[in-house]
Amino acid sequence: MVRVGWGLMNPFSKDFKSGIADAWPMFLAYVPIAALWGTLAAAKGFSPLEAMLMSAFLYAGASQFVAIEMWGAAQSILLLIFTIFIINVRHVLYAASISRHMGGIPHRWHPALMYILTDEAWALLERKALTQPLTLGYYLGVAFPLWPTWFLSSAIGAFIGKQLPDPALIGLDFAFAAMFIAILAGFWKGPRTGAVIIASAVVAVLAKTYFSGAWYIILGGLAGVAVAALLHSEAEA
């Protein structure tokens, strides 16, 4: 795009910068969490390059912590892969939901954009989509820089080894929960939303109590979605 003058930006870079402006607290949160993960991976014998490859290819924080936890103790690679799949199956819901707001983005971009759809990027994108359709620039501004931030910080953590302080000491482990609470508040539309999140929380507590692993996310999420579908009445649609 031809630059027509100082102070005028093309829509792509304007949206890209707006995405970065919304997501930058997450960059700060990703660095210590990824570095911590890198130290745990190094303790299990991962080289910095292996840690970086895993962060770049898997790119899903919670499941990476589980994978490192299971590493060496897992009975087989297939069990490990299946476990990771179960933890990450919530992304099916993320992608189905967010794709409805991607009508303004050329289709050839969609598969690549799904690759960088983390919990945090997705939550921020859903928040934006409450008020306006997503653009390619905004999506990339939110989601893309988080990816190298994550895998480079992982490699650095694995390189440094075990000397990093625990992020919990300064409450950083709570940063993601706090962000999800903030975004959750934006989805409040009245008592029905209350019913949805109560169903989700109750089922998540039960699932977390009675099943090991990450079933609580998908079971709690589906319970909330089911309540929303049940409460829907065609008359008001």
Partner 1 sequence: MSNLFTVHFTTFLAIIGMGIATYSTRLSGLLLMRGVVVQGRLKAALDAVPPAVLMAVITPTVFMTGKAETIAAAVTGAVAFFRLPLLVVILSGIFSVVLFRHLI
Strands (E), the chain: none
Q: Which of residues 115-154 bind partner 1 (CB under 8 A)?
A: 115, 117, 119, 123, 126
| Cβ proximity to partner 1, 1 vs 96, nearer residue | 96
Q: If you ran DSSP here, which 8-state letter would residue 198 be given?
A: H
Residue 162 CB, nearest distance to partner 1 (Å)?
Answer: 16
Selection from 84, 67, 59 nearest residue 151 by Cα: 59
Residues in the chain: 237
Site string for partner 1, 62-101 (x = CB under 8 A): -x---x---------xx-xxx-xx--xxxxxxxxxx-xx-
What number of chain residues touch partner 1 (CB under 8 A)?
Answer: 89
Of 8 and 72, nearer to partner 1 (C-beta) is 72
User: What one-letter code names the amino acid at 193?
Assistant: T
Nearest to 162 by CA among 46, 14, 57, 9: 46
Residues 168-227 that bind partner 1 (CB under 8 A): 170-172, 174-175, 177-188, 193, 196-197, 199-201, 203-205, 208, 216-227
Nearer to partner 1, 16 or 196 (CB): 196
Question: How far apart (Å, rounded) are the C-alpha atoms in residues 19 and 124?
Answer: 9
For position 160 contacting partner 1 by CB under 8 A, the verdict is no
